[in-house]
Every structure is written in structure tokens, then in C-alpha cells.
Structure 1
Amino acid sequence: MTDEKHVHDAFLAVHVPPEVAQKTRERIERLRAEEANTSKPHLVVTQTKRPPRHRSRLIGALAACLIVVALVVSGGFYFLAPAAYVAIDVNPSLELGVNRLGLVSDTQALNADGEAILAQTDVRWMSYEDALNSIKTEMDSYTSSDAVIEITVVCDEQAWSNELADEGMRCFETGNGRVVCSHASSHERTEAHNAGMGIAKWRIYTQLVEAGVAISPEEASEMTMRELYDLAARENVSLSNDTDTTSSGSSEATGAQELRGKHSHSNSKQRGKHHAQ
């Protein structure tokens, strides 16, 4: 008898007790059930992998919303941020930032009296015309018959610049003194601010210094426009202005016409020329 035959006969002689066979079948059934149960989550996981597509669409939608918001904000900034500046120098020196909607969106005091004016009247988000009227009312106590009120417009758009200048003239020419309105560049504005004064005062100050007059930026900033013109006259400094200038009021009240020469004209004759430039 071969070895294989002995093994075969031995297997046939093995009898598994019924209880062992039952437990074995139960064990097999449990294993099958566990396998079935563990395989189901795989199906669920496979199905739940689809939501990332939904999340990607949601993320895309949110990104689009953010882009729209950014455009709205940037567009709002374009219209609300100052696009032109109007400096007013009497002794109070201050500046209005006017946005493209015609509203004063920024104000800046350039000396102590300017701070006092802006503390008394908050003109931010007023229309440019209303802001001018409010400031003029507060400045009436600073102006007399010989006062000089200088309005300087910084704006890259010529037509709008003329409109801002004209509105300033209309507002202040109804009060005391002489109103002088001119235009300036952004560079001049920056230089004036660096010196701590308004543009009109800075222009006279630089010419006084160039002529050898001993005067500090602090002194010039606190002087009235009338005092600066008088100082130039006493020191025989001939003031010049390379920008177009409009003035109104009584010429004998200030002497500004003589000091500025050809750049200062009576209001009635200058309006047409002012727009032509």
C-alpha cells in the first residue's frame, strides 16, 4: 500500500463531531457576514467620493463671488476715493479731497487754524458746494476787507478742474477780501505738504526763500496770505505764478493784483479766459 493510500484512508476515517461542525458553519457564516458588512462601507465611501465634485463647484462659486466683491470694492474705491484736491489758504489752511461723485471724501488741516475750522464743521461726505459754504461760514471770522483767500485746485481733468475752481470762486467771492483761484500739480501739492503748509503759502514761501528772505516753513504756515504778500512787498520780492490764476474782489484791498502781475485779473473779465485755458 502506498503512502498516498494510507493518507487517503486516514482522512476517510476522520469523523467530525456534530457540534464542531455546527460551530464551524456558524463561524463561516459570521465571517461571511463580517465580510459583507465591511464591504458595504467601501460602496458608501465610493459613493461619498462624489461630493468633492459638489464641493469643487461650491468653491468655484465662492471664488466667483469673491471676484465680484473685489470688483465692486475696487469700483467703489475708484468712485469714493479723492480724485481732486482743493486747498484753501487764508490763515486757516486746509484741503478738501473731492471724489468722482462730487462728494468731499477726505479733509486735511494744514495748520492750527485749519484744525479749528474742521473741528467746528465736519464736511466729509457733503457735496463739494455744501462743504465750501460750510467752511466759508466758519472762515468769516478770519476774513476782513483786506484778506486774501487763495483756492488752489489739483486735478488732472481740465474741465472738472475748472468747475471746481469756479464753484470755489462763486462761494468765497460773496464774502470779505479778495479771492484768488489757481491750479497746481500733484508734485506741488506733495512739496507743500512736506513743508507743512498749503499750496498757495508754499508758493510764496519758496519764492521768498529763493530771494534770500529769512523765513522758516513754520512761520510761513502760521502767517496769513495777506501777511505773506505784504512781506514780499516789503522785501521787494516780485512774486510769479506759472499757473493760470483767477481773482475777484477789491484790488485795493489786498494789493494781490500788483504782486501777481499778469496772473491776477478781475473776475468779470477772467471767467471766459479761465475756461479757455
Structure 2
Amino acid sequence: MNEKIREAFHQVKAEEELKKRTKKFIYDKTKGYNKKHMYHIYYVLIPAACMLFIFIGYQIYFTPTLAISIDINPSIEMEVNRFDKVIAIEGYNEDGEELVNLLQDVKYMNYADAINQIIDNKEILTLLSNDEIMVISIISQDNEQSMRILSNIESYTSDDTNIHCYHGDYERLDEANKLGLSYGKYDAYQKLCSLDINISIEEIQSMSMREIHDLLATYLEDDSSGHHQHGHGH
């Protein structure tokens, strides 16, 4: 009887040892598989996450949030991102294209440095010294950014009475560019048309802002004088 009990006990103990060894074997194998499996996941996911981060960063950096139209004749426009960096510059007439070719290094500059370089350009300085008018239009859907930049540019250009800055209507920017006009020239074109002054897009492209200003002034003066004479007739 005692012998049977001992045999049964040894059998149970042997089974327990077998179970332990089996569990250890499975654990070791499974653990090794998981490590390899996780390494494979990390190997795929980490580069993918880096590429996604780069793509999102690229999209954010190269998405314009504001445009700065600079018109004197030349006429040019700069696109600025949310970090106040110039990401594109384009000329909207022949003179503008020539100036842009001289200003390629303003890309990726802070907008303030770019404005400074444009105004300090020899050709622009000559035009301003000859009593030409420069109009700087700030156009953006981001009111906070546009008002801040407008305020900064107004402060920077306050000593030059021939430089005028204002906030433009973002909704009209795309329409202006589709017509091949900078925002500043388009705004002037709209004002002339509203006064029934017959002028083509090609003509407005080639005119300086001084010529446009003088045309408007002459028309308004004649119109005012006409009204005055008409009133006198009564």
C-alpha cells in the first residue's frame, strides 16, 4: 500500500515538473517571438511616423496664410506662412518679374527683412525719390497675423509719405491673381471702374501707382468741379 502511494506521489511530481518545463519552454519561445515581432513593428512604424511628421511639417511651412502686395511699378506679391516667413514671390507685370529676379534671396526670410530689402533696392529707392507712390497691401484670413504685420510695416515705413499701407480683402485676392493683377493693382482697377473710367487690365498693369493716383485725383477733381458748377447754375 505504501509503495503505491509513493509511486502515485512520484507520478504527480513528475507531471508537475513536466508542466513547469513545458511552461518555461512556451514562455521562452513566446517571449522570443514577441521581441522579434515588436522589433519588426518598431522598424516599420518609427520611419513611417518620421515621414508623417516631415510631411505635416512641410505642409504647414509651405501653406501661405498671408499675402503682401507691393505696387509702385514694379508690381509684386509675396506669400508668407504662419511663421512670418516668405515662401514665394511673384511679379505681376514685366517690371515686377525683373525685380523678382533680383530678389530671389528674400525667399525664406522673415517678411520684415524681405520688405526692408525691397524698399532698399536701388531701383525702388530711385522711384521713391522721384515722387512715385508705393502701395503695400496686407491680405489674409488670419486677422491677428495681418493686423500685426500691417502695424509693423506701417511703423517701418512711417517716415516715407509716399508709401501707403492698408489691409486688403482676402476674398478678392484669388480674383485679382486670376486676372493677372497684383492685389494693389486690382484694387485700383476696381476703384477706376466704379467711377466709370474706361481702362483695360493691360493698361492698369503697365501704369505706375503715381499715374493711377493722379488719374483718380484728376477725375475726382473734375467731377467735384462739375457738381460745383452745376450747383452754381441754380
TM-score, normalized by length of structure 2?
0.70
Letter in 1 for 2:132: A
Q: Which residue of 2 aligns with 1:83?
A: 65
Question: Unpaired segments of 5 or more residues in structure 2?
Answer: 1-31, 223-234
How far has the Cα of 1:237 moved from its partner?
8.5
Q: Does 1:96 align with 2:81?
A: no
1:237 to 1:109, Cα distance in 2 relative to 1, 3 A: farther
Q: Which residue of 1 aligns with 2:119?
A: 136
- 1:50-82 deviations in whole A, cap 9, x for unaligned? 99x957962664145313421332134213432
How far has the Cα of 1:99 moved from its partner?
1.8
Q: 1:229 aligns with which of 208, 213, 230?
A: 213
How far has the Cα of 1:216 moved from its partner?
0.8
How far has the Cα of 1:212 moved from its partner?
2.6
Q: Does 1:158 align with 2:148?
A: no
Letter in 2 for 1:235: Y
Q: Does 1:73 align with 2:58?
A: no
Q: Which residue of 1 aligns with 2:132?
A: 147
How many residues are matched? 189
Secondary structure at the counterpart of residue 129 of structure 1: helix
CA distance, structure 1, for counterparts of residue 62 and residue 178 of structure 2 = 25
Letter in 1 for 2:136: I
Q: 1:180 aligns with which of 143, 157, 164?
A: 164
Q: Which residue of 2 aligns with 1:168?
A: 153
TM-score, normalized by length of structure 1?
0.60
RMSD: 2.8
Question: Unpaired segments of 5 or more residues in structure 1?
Answer: 1-49, 239-277
Q: Which residue of 1 aligns with 2:88?
A: 106
1:59 to 1:200, Cα distance in 2 relative to 1, 3 A: same
Secondary structure at the counterpart of residue 129 of structure 2: coil
Letter in 2 for 1:131: A
- 1:156-178 deviations in whole A, cap 9, x for unaligned? 23232122112222333444x52
**Structure with the bigger percentage of helix:** 2
Secondary structure at the counterpart of residue 77 of structure 2: strand
**Which gives a bigger RCO, structure 1 or 2 (Cα 8 Å, sep 6+)?**
2
Contact map agreement 2:128 2:162 (CA 8 A) in 1: no
